[in-house]
Amino acid sequence: MKILLDTSDVKAIKRISGMFPVWGVTTNPAIVAAGGVPLFDLLPAIRDAMGGKGTLFAQVIAPTVEGMIDDAHKLRERVDNLVVKVPVTPSGLQVIKELTAQNIPTLATSVYGAAQGLLGVLAGAKYVSPYVSRIDAQGGNGPEVVSELQALLSTHAPEKELVAASFKSPRQALECMLIGCKGITLPVDIFDLFIADPAVGIAVKQFEEKWQNTFHQENL
């Protein structure tokens, strides 16, 4: 499966990419605004932090069809293999359809329902991202929506990929992995929590102490 980071924190991207094969990095307008770095400066910095590898995702922001298409072209001029994120709205579906005709890859985002997500990929999006924790916050069941959408894709668009997003806990992400998501995009803090169990550090320290007490050396 593909694990992506959902962040504009270049230092964190570099740190995690150094220890794990991160497949890509996603951003959205809110994440970029929170970081304070202009998007067209940020994207090359993210690419460099990943060692020139991986796939970048960035979202259009214009309110009109024409504006979103123009945004997409500007993003692709900055990073030529970038995947353009487009919200699944009536205007967004038009944009996805047009960009697909131009051979520009897209991710259908702001997805809160399985049928909505399916429309995004049938319009041409290569990827689709349901918002797991946001669905939960509205009284829905995020993992259930992911499961339904995954089933729809398997039946109607098996070549498309579900990239679950919007997580508030490692458990939410794990549930989506168990469902069979081909990809998940994690905030940095959630990624770190997967390997932050205090018991792990205690076990490693015990191994080191017993080894050093017996052999009086730190290495093999």
Give dist(CA 126, CA 167) in Å, integer.
Answer: 21
Residue closest to 181 by CA, chosen among 216, 154, 202: 154
For 52, which DSSP code? T
Of 14, 53, 85, 168, the active-site residue reads 85
Place of tokens 């050396």: 217
Q: Once rounded to an integer, what is the mean pLDDT over residues 26-44? A: 94
Residue 85 is among the residues annotated as catalytic for this protein = yes
**Whether 65 contacts 99, CB under 8 Å:** no
pLDDT reading at 109 higher than 90 = yes
pLDDT tens figures, 139-190: 999 999 999 999 999 999 999 999 999 999 999 999 999 988 889 999 999 9
pLDDT in tens, 38-95: 999 999 999 999 998 899 999 999 999 999 999 999 999 999 889 999 999 999 999 9
User: What are the structural domains, with CATH classification, of the chain?
Assistant: 2-215 (3.20.20.70)
What is the secondary structure of 204-217 as a DSSP string?
HHHHHHHHHHHH--
How far separated are the first and last CA of the chain, in Å rounded?
Answer: 34
Q: Which residues on neighbouring strands pair with residue 5, listed in sequence order?
A: 25, 186
The label of the residue with tokens 């549930």 reads 175
Q: What percent of the chain has pLDDT over 70?
A: 100
Query: Measuring CA to CA, which residue among 124, 123, 191, 179 is closest to residue 154?
Result: 179
User: Residue 184: beta bridge partners?
Assistant: 3, 164
Which amino acid type is present at position 203?
Answer: A
